[in-house]
Amino acid sequence: MLKVGITGQSGFIGTALFNTMGLYPDKYIRVPFEDSWYSNQEKLISFVKKCDVIVHLAAVNRHSNPQILYDTNIMLVRQLLEAIDISGVRPHVLFSSSIQESLDNPYGKSKLEGQKILQEWAKQTKTAFTGLVIPNVFGEFSKPNYNTFIATFSDKLIKGKTVEVIENNSVKLIHIGSLCHFILSHLEQSGIRKIEVPYDFCMTVTDVLERLNYFNNLYTKQGIIPILKDRNDLNLFNTFRSYIEPAKMFLVNHCDERGNFAETIKTGVGGQVSYSITKPGVTRGNHYHTRKIERFIVIKGKARIELRKIGTDEIISFDLDGTEPAYVDMPVWYTHNITNIGKDDLYTEFWINEWYDPNNSDTYFEKV
């Protein structure tokens, strides 16, 4: 198995890449990294000694002082190379550059210069090196006002704030999932390479905002699953809803002499509806999805739904009762389960946006 370490593991791309490698435990051994090791050469050397491949993501994206931003990013490259040289090992190094390397700004310049330093070092030491020129990355859990404008727009819309478009540029976008799988497919390259990572799609900033407004008006305000035109639209929607805290949402319950009636889901994407009858004390689930939209609706009985974001320890818990029909939507990358906490059978309806395919189930088991 390939031993892979990621500098900048705690960042947006680093966290996603670390978690994505976790989907393939038979292929990769994940070598943990902590940012503080850049201040401790002994620990940095110990880290590189354990790696067959190092994905160098550590960098400063924004800083009030442009010179500090530039100097820091170059320093991080040089410190990594120094640790590798001292250790005597020769891991394949992948470097994340950016399409901004062609622009006249401190971040772009630091990426271009960092790549040149690494390429020259790789030539001198006959070490494998891959420079990745990455387009604008978006995806679930990216940091608003730091990583991407999509994160910033989504966060503001959900909080009811005004969104302003300063420049309506056409933007080449790649979803974090696409980027992670692209990186994984290049871990075992040899020689010295510079690769332009292909983007998923291109949209103007106002067109992106229009889609996010559409999602906000239907999903946030009405609980309706919007029409999703393709996989890119699904990725954009899953990114948008990643900024909504998991919550228990009550259904409108219509009661008369005949009994009760409640609409459980309105959707523009079809999918699959199923139901379960669960005995008291029994737990279902303990798995997560990376692309699927899923809704749990308690029809009858008492249930506890638990969620935990992958890579974190905090458990979010909701108690639902069929006498007050309610649902919980499962965010991607949150492992989840449902337990019958009552004395009678629990009746639950499940909706998911795609048919179950045992050959591509997008279901990964991990206990909440």
Q: Which among 108, 111, 112 is positioned nearest to 58, based on CA atoms?
A: 111
Does residue 201 contact residue 173 with C-beta atoms inside 8 Å?
A: yes
- The mean pLDDT of the chain is 95
**CATH topology classification for 246-365:** Jelly Rolls (2.60.120)
Contacts of 10 (CB under 8 A, 6+ apart): 34, 35
Does residue 49 contact residue 43 with C-beta atoms inside 8 Å?
A: no
**What is the tens place of the pLDDT at every residue in 117-176?**
999 999 999 999 999 999 999 999 999 998 899 999 999 999 999 999 999 999 999 999
Comparing 13-27, 96-110, 316-330, 331-345, the range with the smallest average pLDDT is 96-110
**What is the tens place of the pLDDT at every residue in 300-339?**
999 999 999 999 999 999 999 999 999 999 999 999 999 9
CATH architecture of 2-141+172-201: 3-Layer(aba) Sandwich (3.40)
Q: Are the folds of 2-141+172-201 and 246-365 the same? A: no
Q: Which pLDDT band, with edges at 50, 70 and 90, does 35 fall under?
A: very high
Domain ranges of the chain: 2-141+172-201, 246-365
Rounded CA gap, 210 and 96, in Å? 30
State the pLDDT at residue 277.
96
